[in-house]
Amino acid sequence: MNSKKAPFPETEDEAIPRQHSGPSLAKLLNQRLSRRHLLRGGAAVALSAGLPIPLSAANSTLSSLGFGEIPHGLDTQLHVPEGYQSQVLLRWGDPLFSDSPVFNPAQQTAAAQQRQFGYNCDFIAFMPLPADKRNHQRGLLCVSHEYSSSRMFAHSPRLSAETRTGVELASHGHSVVEIRLQRAAWTVVTNSPYNRRISPLDTWMRLAGPAAGHPRLRTMADPGGTRVLGTLNNCAGGTTPWGTVLICEENFQAYFGGIATEHSEQDNYERYGIGPRHRYRWARFHPRFDLAQEPREPNRFGWVVEIDPYDASSMPVKRTALGRFKHESATVALAPDGRVVVYSGDDQAFEYLYKFVSHGRYAAGADTGRLLDEGVLHVARFNEDGGIQWLPLIYGRGPLSKENGFASQAEVLIETRRAADLLGATPMDRPEGISLQPDNGRIYLALTKNHARAPWQRNGANPHAVNRYGHILEIIPPGEDADHATTEAHWEIFALGGEGANNLPELGPAGWFACPDNLACDARGRLWIASDGATSASGIADSLWACDTLGPGRALSRHFLRAPKSAEVTGPCFSPDQRTLFLSIQHPGGGWPDFNPGMPARPAVVAIQRRDGGKIGD
Ligand code: FEO
Ligand code: CA
Ligand code: CA
C-alpha cells in the first residue's frame, strides 16, 4: 500500500543546486562503478578495455545466478524463467479450516471471511515443522493481509455497508496455515491445529513495553491500556531466532474517522496523518474507529506485533519499545554479544530508518519474553561521508525532554516521529523492505521512491530530486563480526532504480528494476528485489529481480518473475532448503488467477519451484 506525505510541491527540476553540499550523484556513481570494476577483476578489465562481450554472456559469466532472464512486459499472466514452475497455493477466500464455508464473492460475510484466507496478502514467513511420517516437508505459512479494497465487492453490489465493513475487518490481519510438500506440490492442511486467522474483528492482543498501560493508550473499552483488539495494515515483517513472527502495522491512520474533541492529541494525529483523509468508513459501525468516541484508539496502532505461530491460542503482543510509526519490515539481526537488533523503516516520504537494540541477550532455550520490551530505539542519520550515526531515542536525553512535551519514555515511543525529528534524523525516500545478508551481516534497505524530494533536499543517501524509481542502500555494520548493536555504521548506494541508472553495460535488457519494495536474501547471500509501482513509474509489470551482493555479479540484477498486470509483488520467502520461493501477488487485475467471469481477481500466494527440484536461482 502506498503512502505519501507531500509537504513540498513536486518538481521536475533535476538540476544540482549550488547550495547542495554533499557529493554529486555523478561522483557517487563513479565511486561505485570503480569499486565494482575492481571487484570483477579480469572480466572488468576486458570490459573497460572495450573488448566485445555480448551482454548475456558477460552477465552469465559474472553472476552466480543460473536462470535465464525473462523479458519485461505487461499482461494478465505470471511469468517465471524457463525450467521453473509456479503454483497458486492460497487465494483470497480459500478455506483455512475443515469447516470453512466455500468462498462465494456475491454473498461474502464476516463470519465466512474469518474462516478463509484474508485479502491482499503481503509478508510471508515459512516456519518449519518436523517432517511427517512419510517424510513430507512441513511448515507453517504465516501471511499478513495488508488492507481491503473496493475490488473485493465487484461481484457483490447488493451487500450492505455494514456487511461490507465486517468483511473488510475480517479480511485484514494475518493467517497461519500448515502446508505440506507432497509429490513436488505444496498442499494446505485444513485440519491442522496450528491454523488460525488473526483479525481486527476478534483477536485480542496484549500491549507490552514502556508504553503499555500509559494513559494515552487507555480507552473506554480498555481502561487499563494493555489490551487492544486486532492489528491493522500489516505490510512487511520479520522473524526472530526464537521462532516467532513479527508483523508490522503500516498505514494505520487510514481507518479512523470522526472529529476528535480531545485536542491534546491533535499534533500527534497530524504527524501521523490521522483525520479527515481517512480511507475507510469503519467508524460508522465500530465506535472505536470514531475519534469523537475513542480519541486515543489510534495510539494503540502503529506498533510491531509479535506472534507465536506454533501456538494457535497464544495472544499476540504489541511491542511498544520498537516505536510507533508506519512500520515496514522488522528485520532481526543478532549482535556478536547476543543482543537482539530489529531494523524497521517508516514508509512515508521523508520519514526515517530505525533500529531497536535489546538490553538482554538472546540464548537458545532461555526466556525471550522480555527481549523486545527492554532496550533502546535508535534512528539513523546518514552522513555525507558514508557514515551512519544511530541516535538513541531516550527520554530525558538531549531534546527529548519536558520542554519539548515529553513526560516519559512512553511518550517518546508514542510520538516516535516527533522525537526523531528533534534528534535530526535523515529524511529518506520511503524506507520499505529490509533484508539481512546472512554471510556478512550487511543490511539492504529498499527506498521505493519519493516524488516530492526537491533538489535542495537531496543528500548522499537520497541523491535524487523527484526520485521516481527508488534505490537500494547497503548498510555495513562495523567489525568483521558485523556488530549491529553499535551506534556507528557505514552506508553505500547498492543500486539505483530506473532504466540505465546504474550504468552497467553487463546488465541484461530486463535487468533494471524500478520502485523496490520488499527484499529477501537467500542462503547464498543473493538479494531478491520485489517491486511496487513499476508500472506507473516505468510502464513495466511489477516483478522480482535477483542479484549477487558480493563478487563480480554484485548488483547485476536479473529479471526473474513478472506479476500479472495491476499486481505488486510482496513477501518473498524461501523454504529452508531453498527449493521453494513463496511470494504474495497483491491486488492483481485481469481476473488472475481464476480467469472466471464469476470470480473477482484474487490476491494469492504462489509457490515457485524448479522443475528439476534444484535450488532457486542456482
Ligand atoms: Fe505496504 Fe510500504 O508498503
Ligand atoms: Ca509499497
Ligand atoms: Ca511494502
The answer to whether position 409 is within a domain reads yes
Q: How far is CA 574 from CA 343, 437, 495, 515, in A?
A: 20, 14, 23, 22
- Half-sphere exposure of 48 toward its Cβ, with a 13 Å CA cutoff? 11
Q: Residue 507: is its pLDDT beyond 70? A: yes
SS3 239: strand
Ligand 1 in contact with 429 (CB < 6 A)? no
In this predicted structure, what is the pLDDT of residue 31?
A: 54
What whole-number distance in Å separates Cα of residue 545 and Cα of residue 327? Answer: 24
345: exposed, middle or buried (Cβ count in 10 Å: 0-12, 13-18, 19+): buried
Band the pLDDT of 17: cuts 50, 70, 90. Answer: very low
Distance of CA 431 from the midpoint of ligand 2 (Å): 9
The answer to whether position 538 is within a domain reads no
105 cis-preceded (ω within 30 degrees of 0): no
Q: Which ligand is nearest to the CA of 233?
A: 1
Ligand 1 in contact with 351 (CB < 6 A)? no
Distance of CA 448 from the midpoint of ligand 2 (Å): 7
For the CA of 328, the closest atom of ligand 1 is 2
47: part of which helix (H) or strand (E)? Answer: helix 42-48
The answer to whether position 137 is within a domain reads yes
By alpha-carbon position, which residue is closest to atom 3 of ligand 1? 1
Cell 475480517, residue located: 170
In this predicted structure, what is the pLDDT of residue 10?
A: 26
Q: Residue 56: is its pLDDT beyond 70? A: no
SS (H, E, C) 435-486: EECCCCCCEEEEECCECCCCHHHCECCECCCCECCCEEEEEECCCCCCCCCC
Q: Pairing state of beta strands 431-436 and 227-229?
A: unpaired
Structurally, how many domains does the chain consist of? Answer: 1
Ligand 1 in contact with 249 (CB < 6 A)? no
What whole-number distance in Å separates Cα of residue 195 and Cα of residue 142? Answer: 9
CB 332 within 8 A of CB 340: yes
One-letter amino acid at 609 equals: Q
Q: Which ligand is nearest to the CA of 519?
A: 3
In this predicted structure, what is the pLDDT of residue 61?
A: 83
Q: Residue 42: is its pLDDT beyond 60? A: no
Count Cβ neighbours within 10 Å for each residue of 272-309 and write b for 16 or more, e otherwise.
bbbbeebebebbebbbbbbbebbbbbbbbbbbbbbbbb
**Where on the phi/psi map is residue 70: left (φ > 0), alpha (ψ -120 to 50), or beta?**
beta
CA angle 263, 268, 269 (to 5 degrees): 80
The answer to whether position 269 is within a domain reads yes
Distance of CA 493 from the midpoint of ligand 2 (Å): 20
Band the pLDDT of 19: cuts 50, 70, 90. Answer: very low
Q: Residue 603: is its pLDDT beyond 70? A: yes
CB 233 within 8 A of CB 250: yes
Distance of CA 596 from the midpoint of ligand 1 (Å): 29
Q: Residue 273: is its pLDDT beyond 70? A: yes
The answer to whether position 264 is within a domain reads yes
Of 413 and 158, which is predicted with more confidence?
A: 413
What whole-number distance in Å separates Cα of residue 161 and Cα of residue 219? Answer: 26
In this predicted structure, what is the pLDDT of residue 57?
A: 56
- pLDDT averaged over the chain? 91
Band the pLDDT of 58: cuts 50, 70, 90. Answer: low
Ligand 1 in contact with 146 (CB < 6 A)? yes
Ligand 1 in contact with 1 (CB < 6 A)? yes
The answer to whether position 543 is within a domain reads no
By alpha-carbon position, which residue is closest to atom 1 of ligand 1? 1
What's the pTM value of the predicted model, to 2 decimals? 0.92
Q: Residue 207: is its pLDDT beyond 90? A: yes
Q: Which ligand is nearest to the CA of 123?
A: 3
Distance of CA 366 to the CA centre of its chain: 29
Q: Residue 95: is its pLDDT beyond 60? A: yes
In this predicted structure, what is the pLDDT of residue 258?
A: 85
Ligand 1 in contact with 347 (CB < 6 A)? yes
Of 204 and 37, which is predicted with more confidence?
A: 204
The answer to whether position 597 is within a domain reads no
The answer to whether position 606 is within a domain reads no
Q: What is the pLDDT of residues 511-539, one digit of tens each?
A: 999 999 999 999 999 999 999 999 999 99
Share of the chain above pLDDT 90, in %: 86
Ligand 1 in contact with 415 (CB < 6 A)? no
Q: What is the pLDDT of residues 295-347, one digit of tens each?
A: 999 999 999 999 999 999 999 999 999 999 999 999 999 999 999 999 999 99
Task: Look up the domain containing 254 and give its range.
Answer: 26-59+89-430+450-507
Ligand 1 in contact with 568 (CB < 6 A)? no
